[in-house]
Amino acid sequence: MQIREVTEEREVKYLATHAAHSRDAVRDRPQDKDPLRTEYQRDRDRILHSKAFRRLKHKTQVYIAPTDHYRTRMTHTLEVSQIARTMARALRLNEDLTEAIALGHDVGHTPFGHVGEFAIRDLFGHFHHNEQSLRVLDVLEKHGAGLNLTQAVRDGILNHTGPNLPQTLEGQLVRYSDRIAYLCHDFDDAERAGMLTADDLPLEVQRRFGTTHSSMITAMVSDLVYSSLDRDCIIMPDATQAVMRIFREFMFANVYQAPALVPDRKRGYRLVQELCRYYLEDPARLPEEHQPNEIPVATAVIDYVAGLTDEYAIRLYQDTFLPRYWAVK
């Protein structure tokens, strides 16, 4: 018996009734099994080693071009993964599937975070980072071959946000973990930036979640775990969800839409749109691997610009639109 098969048998014996089992995983393009790793472990590894995942270290979470200690899109992703794995283990769900979904959920994010997403959506009429995450992993990685991920991982990534719930409990966990992570760590970063203090938090948030990054995560995770034990769906208590909504509204008013961040966000929005227009005007300007040979020009432009990191987008904008100093010899 191979090591993978031992792991699969262990899952059947240990995991909760409604957990996903690796041996049941399905790919659109069948592949030979790995002797060591389960299908969900392979998906996790493929995402972790992808170029799109590496680019997340230079993409905005909240603060554009942050200094040390502030979250980037990659550290956000890692915190989502940690929170989701903690809950998956407590609920005896498939931790490998949970981790794979968490690591891949944001790889379709644009430069400058949601600002870039809005810029592309406003220009082209449709763009959502969750859909782009799936396109990146399905189509763009490995020079157009894609990663051929399992259906459960693909479903969890696509539906980590938006109107539809993931089909697996593991995917539903990541959906909650994403919100828990960004509310708590974005407040932590806002405190570090001097934008907020614990005393500024709504009283409902202070009473239910506490005032520290750690206490907030602990409270939300505990409420979800104890409400979801041995159930066929993931449940966050109504009272907890109500306070999370208050917390989210507070963060939008005082951080995400704060006047102090508006100037840089407007610059990021304009930069993304101007780069898109530049390549739309003449698609031959796109790098060779992004030429629209068999896809619409708009799709090729979106794929390229959405994949840029903050730093590369700024440098590309400077090289494209700003005059250079002459070096007279």
pLDDT at 329: 59
Residue 150, classed as helix, strand or coil, is: strand
Look up residue 180 and give its two tokens: 């828990």
Inter-residue contact 120 to 302 (CB < 8 Å): yes
Inter-residue contact 107 to 52 (CB < 8 Å): yes
pLDDT tens for the 329 residues of the chain, in order: 899 999 999 999 999 999 999 999 999 999 999 999 999 999 999 999 999 999 999 998 887 656 678 999 999 999 999 999 999 999 999 999 999 999 999 999 999 999 999 999 999 999 999 999 999 999 999 999 999 999 999 999 999 999 999 999 999 999 999 999 999 999 999 999 999 999 999 999 999 999 999 999 999 999 999 999 999 999 999 999 999 999 999 999 999 999 988 999 999 999 999 999 999 999 999 999 999 989 999 999 999 999 999 999 999 999 999 888 766 55
Count of domains observed in the chain? 1
Indicate the DSSP class of residue 122. H
pLDDT at 66: 62
Inter-residue contact 22 to 170 (CB < 8 Å): no
pLDDT at 68: 77
* Residue 111, CB-side half-sphere exposure with 13 Å CA sphere: 28
Within a domain: 326 = no
Within a domain: 327 = no
Cα–Cα distance measured from residue 244 to residue 35, given in angstroms and rounded to the nearest whole number: 43
pLDDT at 327: 60
Within a domain: 329 = no
Q: Provide the domain limits for residue 144.
A: 3-321
pLDDT at 324: 80
Within a domain: 190 = yes
DSSP of 50-111: SHHHHHGGGSBSSSSS--TTS-BHHHHHHHHHHHHHHHHHHTT--HHHHHHHHHHTTTTPPT
Inter-residue contact 221 to 247 (CB < 8 Å): no
pLDDT at 64: 66
pLDDT at 326: 65
Inter-residue contact 134 to 108 (CB < 8 Å): yes
pLDDT at 61: 85
Distance of CA 318 to the CA centre of its chain: 28
SS3 of 15-43: the string is CCCCCCCHHHCCECCCCCCCCCCCHHHHH
Q: Which residues, 6+ apart, have CB-to-CB distance to 214 below 8 Å?
A: none
Within a domain: 126 = yes
Within a domain: 328 = no
> What is the residue type of 246?
I
Look up residue 277 and give its two tokens: 């227009």
Cα–Cα distance measured from residue 277 to residue 263, given in angstroms and rounded to the nearest whole number: 21
CATH number at residue 40: 1.10.3210.10
> What is the residue type of 48?
L
308 φ/ψ angles, rounded to the nearest 5 degrees: -70, 145
Least Cα distance to 157 among 110, 117, 92, 99 occurs for 99
